[in-house]
Structure 1
Amino acid sequence: MSEVIDQESYWRITAMNNPYAIARELTEQTRIQSMTESIPRGEEVAGYCNGSLTWETHYLKPDYFLALFYDDTKEKTPDPYTKRGLKDCQAWIFKYDRRHSRLSFQARNVEIGNKAFARLAHHLATESPRPPVNQSRLAHPNRAHTALPVIARGQKVITSE
Structure 2
Amino acid sequence: MSEQIDTETKSYSRLMDEVLNHVIYHAEDFRTQRLSGAMPKESSYLVTGDNQNFINLLPLKDNRYLALFYDIADIPDKPMNDKLLVKHSDAWILYYDSQHARWSSEAWNKQIGNKKFI
State if a TM-score over 0.5 links the two structures. yes
User: Percent of aligned pairs with the same residue?
Assistant: 27
Q: Distance in 1 between matches of 2:44 and 2:116?
A: 20
* Residue 56 to residue 25, structure 1, CA distance change in 2 (3 Å): same
Gaps of 5+ in 1: 1-15, 119-161
The DSSP-based 3-state class of the residue aligned with 2:26 is helix
The total of aligned residue pairs comes to 99
Q: Distance in 2 between matches of 1:100 and 1:61?
A: 18
Q: Distance in 1 between matches of 2:98 and 2:73?
A: 38
The DSSP-based 3-state class of the residue aligned with 1:51 is coil
TM-score by length of 1: 0.54
Q: Distance in 2 between matches of 1:34 and 1:51?
A: 25
Higher helix share: 2
Q: Which residue of 2 aligns with 1:26?
A: 26
| Cα deviation, residue 94, structure 1 | 0.7
Letter of the 2:97 counterpart: D
Deviations 1:86-144 (A, max 9, x none): 222101111111111111111110111112212xxxxxxxxxxxxxxxxxxxxxxxxxx
Q: Which residue of 1 aligns with 2:73?
A: 73
Q: Distance in 1 between matches of 2:28 and 2:86?
A: 22
1:58 aligns with 2:48: no
Gaps of 5+ in 2: 1-13
Q: Distance in 1 between matches of 2:36 and 2:97?
A: 18
Deviations 1:70-101 (A, max 9, x none): 1111216854x42x322221011111111111
The DSSP-based 3-state class of the residue aligned with 2:49 is strand
What RMSD in Å do the two structures reach over aligned CA positions?
Answer: 2.2
Q: Distance in 1 between matches of 2:45 and 2:54?
A: 13
> Where do residues 34-113 of structure 1 align in structure 2 (5 Å cutoff)?
34-37=34-37, 38-40=40-42, 43-75=43-75, 79=81, 81-82=82-83, 84-113=84-113
Preserved CA contact (<8 Å) 2:96 2:102? yes
Letter of the 2:25 counterpart: E
Q: Which has the larger radius of gyration?
A: 1
Q: Which residue of 1 aligns with 2:11?
A: none
Q: Distance in 1 between matches of 2:107 and 2:80?
A: 18
Preserved CA contact (<8 Å) 1:30 1:59? no
> Where do residues 125-144 of structure 1 align in structure 2 (5 Å cutoff)?
none
